[in-house]
Amino acid sequence: MDTQADFFHRTLPKVELHAHLNGSVSSQTIDKLIRRKPHLNIERSMTAIGKGQRRTLEECFQVFKVIHQLVDTEEDILMVTTDVIREFAADGVKYLELRSTPREETNTGLTKKGYVETVVKAIQLCKNEGLDIDVRCLMAIDRRNGAQVAMETVKLAEEFLLSSDGSVVGLDLSGDPKVGHGKDLLPALQRGRNSGLKLSLHLSEIPSQLEESDLLLNLPPDRIGHGTFLHPEVGGSQSLVDKVLKNNIPLELCLTSNVKGQTVPCYSQHHFKYWYQLGHPIVICTDDKGVFCTDLSQEYQLVSSTFGLSHEDLWNLSEQAIDCTFAPETIKQQLKQKWTDLKPRLFPAAS
Ligand SMILES: CNc1ncnc2c1ncn2[C@@H]1O[C@H](COP(=O)(O)O)[C@@H](O)[C@H]1O
Ligand SMILES: [Zn+2]
């Protein structure tokens, strides 16, 4: 990795659309949390998957449980959210959609509403700091918790859609893909959609979910998380691909996450190639930058070194991501202007 490439990828203005809040907590923030809660006996190595390490997806979900133990008060959520936003801003991210599952913690008196209020407050605090990053929030439905909780989350999101000054823009469906079935969550997702909430759904993150993916694609979602096993070469189907293409649904792709979580055997076999060759809208994302020890610059660098993309190709990818955001049209136009203004810094010869 040469320094020139590093400068390019870090300076490249970027859009991050798939980042789980508690999976994005950096080792520095984890250290602060561990100091706050020494009685939990949690070590930093239990909260992240280091270089060259792999885990099964089940093991990844154990890691989130450990982080959730460390993040269980309003104070923690405020610190975690502001730290994560500052880190993305320092990495050249100009627009960020953070997603998080509202949690209730009876031992600390935290309510789901309080959880979301705190995330929105942190977004506001960062705005007041004058950071060069626009941040929005998606409320996550953990598929493990079933239909009733999903519906409660949608209702809460509806409230925040009206009251959060544009901070809460949509819903995410995530959680352990082996648990629960998407069909039970359709009424909640449908309702959210009808209320004007945008939908980003984890889809076919593991094999053999053709039926579920088909049902969820009929909504249709506004974006797809991963979509690793949608295409026929890996056991998906042409009809699923056709639905994605027909509705022009962008895919959020997270290379390190998929390789470390072992749903993809190696970088060169990542489904980025399949969708990129089709010219379909794709957005490079981190998923869980803390847990998978990455950042968005590294993910862009990985894409370019694995698939031989030029700086110009990467520029186009990051610029096209603006159209995939859930931001209002005026914000998209402002972001495009920002990209135009920044381009001469990265392509001096062309200016
Ligand atoms: C690795 N692939 C993945 N697949 C599915 N869901 C994932 C995920 N990575 C993270 N999450 C979801 O995000 C939560 C942590 O952040 P929040 O507490 O919501 O901020 C996890 O508990 C899981 O539900
Ligand atoms: Zn995810």
Q: Number of folded domains in the chain?
A: 1
Question: Which residue's CA is the closest to the ligand 1 atom numbered 7?
Answer: 175
Distance 348 CA to ligand 2 centre (A): 36
Q: Which residue range is the domain that position 123 belongs to?
A: 12-345
Split at pLDDT 50, 70, 90, the class of 4 is very low
Q: Mean of the pLDDT values across residues 182-201?
A: 98
Measured CA to CA, the distance from residue 28 to residue 45 in angstroms comes to 12
Q: Mean of the pLDDT values across residues 29-53?
A: 95
Question: Which residue's CA is the closest to the ligand 1 atom numbered 22?
Answer: 64
Asked, for residue 4, whether it belongs to a domain, the answer is no
Assess whether pLDDT exceeds 60 at residue 350. no
- Averaged confidence pLDDT in the chain: 96
Does ipTM come in above 0.95?
yes
Split at pLDDT 50, 70, 90, the class of 348 is confident
CATH number of the CATH domain containing 183:
3.20.20.140
Asked, for residue 3, whether it belongs to a domain, the answer is no
Ligand with smallest separation from the Cα of 253: 2
Asked, for residue 350, whether it belongs to a domain, the answer is no
Question: Which residue's CA is the closest to the ligand 1 atom numbered 8?
Answer: 175
Please enumerate in sequence order all residues whose Cβ is within 8 A of that of 42, keeping only pairs 6 or more positions apart, or say none. 34, 66, 69, 70
Distance 270 CA to ligand 1 centre (A): 20
Distance 340 CA to ligand 1 centre (A): 34
Task: Identify the residues whose C-beta falls under 6 Å from ligand 1.
Answer: 20-23, 60, 64, 100-101, 140, 142, 174-175, 202, 205, 257, 261, 287-288
Assess whether pLDDT exceeds 70 at residue 1. no
pLDDT digits (tens, 9 = 90+) for 199-242: 999 999 999 999 999 999 999 999 999 999 999 999 999 999 99
Please enumerate in sequence order all residues whose Cβ is within 8 A of that of 146, keeping only pairs 6 or more positions apart, or say none. 180, 184
Asked, for residue 1, whether it belongs to a domain, the answer is no
Which pLDDT value is given to residue 6? 86
Give percent of the chain with pLDDT exceeding 70.
98
Ligand with smallest separation from the Cα of 66: 1
pLDDT digits (tens, 9 = 90+) for 30-40: 999 999 999 99
Asked, for residue 6, whether it belongs to a domain, the answer is no
Specify whether the CB–CB gap between 200 and 138 falls below 8 A.
Answer: yes
The catalytic residues are 205
The packing angle between helices 146-163 and 112-129, to 10°, is 40
Distance 172 CA to ligand 2 centre (A): 9
CA distances to 46, 105, 200 from 41, rounded to whole Å, are 10, 19, 35
CA quadruple 213, 280, 2, 52: dihedral, nearest 10: 10
Residue identified by tokens 């801003």 is 89
Nearest ligand 1 atom, CA 57:
1
Asked, for residue 220, whether it belongs to a domain, the answer is yes
223-226 β-sheet, strand order: 14-20, 93-100, 134-142, 168-174, 198-203, 223-226, 251-253, 282-284
Nearest ligand 1 atom, CA 287:
9
Phi/psi of residue 137, each to 5°? -135, 140
Question: Which residue's CA is the closest to the ligand 1 atom numbered 3?
Answer: 175
